[in-house]
Amino acid sequence: MKPVRIGILGLGTVGSGTVNVLSRNAKEIARRAGREIKVVQASARDLKKERACPTKDIKITQDPFAIVDNPEIEVVIELIGGVDLAKELVLKAIANGKHVVTANKALIAIHGNEIFQAAQNKGVMVAFEAAVAGGIPIIKAIREGLAGNSIEWLAGIINGTGNYILTEMRDAGRDFADVLAEAQKLGYAEADPTFDVEGVDAAHKLTILAAIAFGIPLQFDRAYIEGISKITESDVEYAQAFGYRIKHLGIARRTEQGVELRVHPTLVPERRLIANVDGVMNAVLVKGDAVGPTLYYGAGAGAEPTASAVVADIVDVVRTLTTDPNNRVPHLAFQPDALSDLPILKMEDVKTSYYLRMQVIDKPGVMADVTRILGARKISIEAMLQKESEVSDDSASVIILTHRVIEKNMNAAITEIEALATIQGEVTRIRIEQLNKEWD
Ligand code: NDP
Ligand code: HSE
């Protein structure tokens, strides 16, 4: 049989990794796919740049449209990143009847509904395993492996750069900016690294996971997003004193009122496996009604781990090239005409427990005021710690852990506490999740 001819848009970290894996494992991959896979053309901005992969058999162009318009090419691999140009290229490839593989979570989270509709109309596939959690085959696991379940919730560490930064800050006491620069050098970070540290990248990925878990359209603009840039060393230490670790989690949970879709730093009990996922590793915990909790772990970023997922998609596409488009696994796991209109909950309607840290003037009656405000909103305290300030004799840090409460009640309580004359600055709030089998 003739080889399948593919074209790669972008020869950076993931593009080069993909060429390396395809060439190193060519024989095994062909045995799996049933056909040899040949990279015939690739694009990059700078033709003079040295590439981290062999390129002598690949025609390299500066014009990515030359690839999507190349009649020889059956499958286009989009590894440029960004949204606008990538969308134009992917839609053009689809219009030209080509299948697409992409690692671009921003593209899928924001324009996926339109892209999948276009692909369905044209009878081509758009595969995106590498878009979530790097090398972990989490899309396949949820979309196919858990197809018999009603998924109740999922929670994941889904940004490798952020987890790398948090781990190095905690274990080596390293500076935030230094670790971020290292993550960029290692090829983990996004072109705009604020996407990693402010939670946007994780929200893109969570949007995709929620869609395939619950059979809802992609709704990135409804996700609640908070990053890791405000976490201090003291919060990491206090969390540890209470038996927790701070992890940046993406959480999607189905409730009777709607779907929670939220990305934020979270205190997780240190005995949970996911609390011990360190460095660039990612992990996603998925609770299905039949299977119970399941955990998926692996490298969340980097050239070859991501290439592993890209190549798996290429093999999937090649295996199904000749199947009837109506009999393929649907892009978003559920049949396109069977998506549900479950609403996404506003963050103020979400219920969680909280870690609160505040700087107080150390005098009688201060704690009574704080506990009165919490009590008036029916917020019950689970634990409390007071630490003398290292910088001033008359102030102290107070850390409070609460039981679960609706976020809008906590917002109101925090506003009232911050207005007390005895409270200095803002109250730091980090949500706590137990990630129990049972989540009330
Ligand atoms: P890189 O920046 O390393 O590579 C991007 C490639 O695209 C480069 O070859 C670059 O050319 C080319 N390119 C960029 N912009 C343009 C443009 N405007 N026109 C033409 N070519 C362009 O990115 P990554 O490989 O890290 O990421 C690629 C995609 O994979 C992104 O969507 C990213 O989110 C996703 N991803 C990345 C992971 C990682 O660990 N890095 C993991 C999972 C997903 P040149 O080299 O000449 O500059
Ligand atoms: N910048 C992303 C991360 C790449 O660090 O997780 C993988 O999607």
pLDDT at 221: 98
Q: pLDDT tier at 363 (50, 70, 90 boundaries)?
A: confident
Query: Best mutation site among 102, 132, 179, 188 for ligand 2, i.e. most ligand atoms within 8 A of its Cβ?
Result: 188
pLDDT digits (tens, 9 = 90+) for 69-115: 999 999 999 999 999 999 999 999 999 999 999 999 999 999 999 99
Nearest to 77 by CA among 58, 103, 112: 103
pLDDT at 389: 76
Q: Phi then psi for 11, rounded to 5 degrees? A: -120, 40
CATH 3.30.70.260 fits 351-432, yes or no: yes
Q: Are 106 and 37 in contact (CB under 8 A)?
A: no
For the CA of 159, the nearest atom of ligand 2: 6
pLDDT at 304: 98
Q: Are 417 and 427 in contact (CB under 8 A)?
A: yes
CATH 3.40.50.720 fits 139-298, yes or no: no
- Residue 217 CA from chain centroid, whole number: 17
pLDDT at 439: 80
Out of 105, 205, 247, 287, the active site residue is 205
> Fold for domain 4-135+303-338?
Rossmann fold (3.40.50)
Residue with token string 């992917």: 90
Span from the CA of 411 to the centroid of ligand 2 (angstroms): 31
Span from the CA of 109 to the centroid of ligand 1 (angstroms): 17
Span from the CA of 196 to the centroid of ligand 2 (angstroms): 7
Question: CA angle, corner 101, sides to 295 and 296, nearest 5?
Answer: 5
> Residue 204 corresponds to which amino acid?
H
Q: Are 208 and 108 in contact (CB under 8 A)?
A: yes
Q: How far apart are the first and last CA of the chain?
A: 55
pLDDT at 156: 98
Q: Average of pLDDT values for 26-42? A: 97
Q: Tell me the ligand closest to 51's alpha carbon.
A: 1
Q: Average of pLDDT values for 432-436? A: 95
Bridge partners, 216 (sequence order): none
Question: Whole-angstrom Cα distance, residue 137 to residue 364?
Answer: 56
The proportion of the chain whose per-residue pLDDT surpasses 70, expressed as a percent, equals: 100
Residue with token string 């002598």: 56
Whether the pLDDT of residue 437 is over 80: the answer is: no
Average pLDDT of every residue of the chain: 96
Helix (H) or strand (E) holding 38: strand 37-43
Question: Whole-angstrom Cα distance, residue 157 to residue 132?
Answer: 10
Q: Is 205 a catalytic residue?
A: yes
Q: What is the pTM of this model?
A: 0.97
Query: Best mutation site among 201, 249, 281 for ligand 2, i.e. most ligand atoms within 8 A of its Cβ?
Result: 201
pLDDT at 367: 93
pLDDT at 197: 97
pLDDT digits (tens, 9 = 90+) for 311-326: 999 999 999 998 888 8
Q: Average of pLDDT values for 176-183? A: 95
- Residue 213: Cβ within 10 Å count: 28
Question: CA angle, corner 114, sides to 109 and 117, nearest 5?
Answer: 120
Q: Are 165 and 183 in contact (CB under 8 A)?
A: yes
Which residue ranges have their beta carbon within 6 Å of ligand 1?
A: 10-15, 43-46, 49, 64, 79-81, 85, 103-104, 130, 134, 187-188, 190-191, 301-302, 306
Radius of gyration of the chain (CA): 24
Nearest to 301 by CA among 9, 11, 14: 14
Q: Average of pLDDT values for 372-386? A: 96
Whether the pLDDT of residue 295 is over 80: the answer is: yes
User: Atom 1 (ligand 1): residue with closest C-alpha?
Assistant: 12
Whether the pLDDT of residue 267 is over 70: the answer is: yes
Structure tokens at 385: 């710690």
Q: Are 164 and 280 in contact (CB under 8 A)?
A: yes
Question: Whole-angstrom Cα distance, residue 271 to residue 362?
Answer: 34
Report the 3 state secondary structure along 102-168: ECCHHHHHHHHHHHHHHHHHHCCCEECHHHCCCCCCHHHHHHHHCCCCCEEEEEEECCHHHHHHHHH
Span from the CA of 134 to the centroid of ligand 1 (angstroms): 14
Span from the CA of 108 to the centroid of ligand 2 (angstroms): 15
Which residue ranges have their beta carbon within 6 Å of ligand 2?
A: 134, 159-161, 188-190, 196, 201, 300-301
Whether the pLDDT of residue 390 is over 90: the answer is: no
What size, in residues, is the chain?
A: 440
User: Atom 12 (ligand 1): residue with closest C-alpha?
Assistant: 10
Span from the CA of 176 to the centroid of ligand 1 (angstroms): 24
The DSSP call for residue 225 is E
Q: Phi then psi for 6, rounded to 5 degrees? A: -120, 155
pLDDT at 120: 96
pLDDT at 64: 98
Span from the CA of 273 to the centroid of ligand 1 (angstroms): 32
Q: Average of pLDDT values for 56-62? A: 97
Q: Are 73 and 6 in contact (CB under 8 A)?
A: yes
pLDDT digits (tens, 9 = 90+) for 208-237: 999 999 999 999 999 999 999 999 989 999
Q: Phi then psi for 112, rounded to 5 degrees? A: -60, -40
> Residue 17 corresponds to which amino acid?
G
pLDDT at 440: 67
Q: Tell me the ligand closest to 199's alpha carbon.
A: 2
pLDDT digits (tens, 9 = 90+) for 191-202: 999 999 999 999
* Alpha-carbon distances, residue 398 vs 28, 267, 356, 360 (angstroms): 59, 17, 8, 7
User: Atom 13 (ligand 1): residue with closest C-alpha?
Assistant: 80
Question: Whole-angstrom Cα distance, residue 89 to residue 110?
Answer: 15
For the CA of 301, the nearest atom of ligand 1: 40
User: Atom 7 (ligand 2): residue with closest C-alpha?
Assistant: 301
For the CA of 306, the nearest atom of ligand 2: 7
Q: Tell me the ligand closest to 166's alpha carbon.
A: 2
Q: pLDDT tier at 190 (50, 70, 90 boundaries)?
A: very high
pLDDT at 326: 87
**420 three-state secondary structure:** coil
> Residue 173 corresponds to which amino acid?
G
Could you state, in order of their start, the residue ranges of all structural domains in the chain?
A: 4-135+303-338, 139-298, 351-432
Query: Best mutation site among 104, 139, 159 for ligand 2, i.e. most ligand atoms within 8 A of its Cβ?
Result: 159
Scanning 254-388, the segments in alpha helix (DSSP H) are 303-319, 366-376
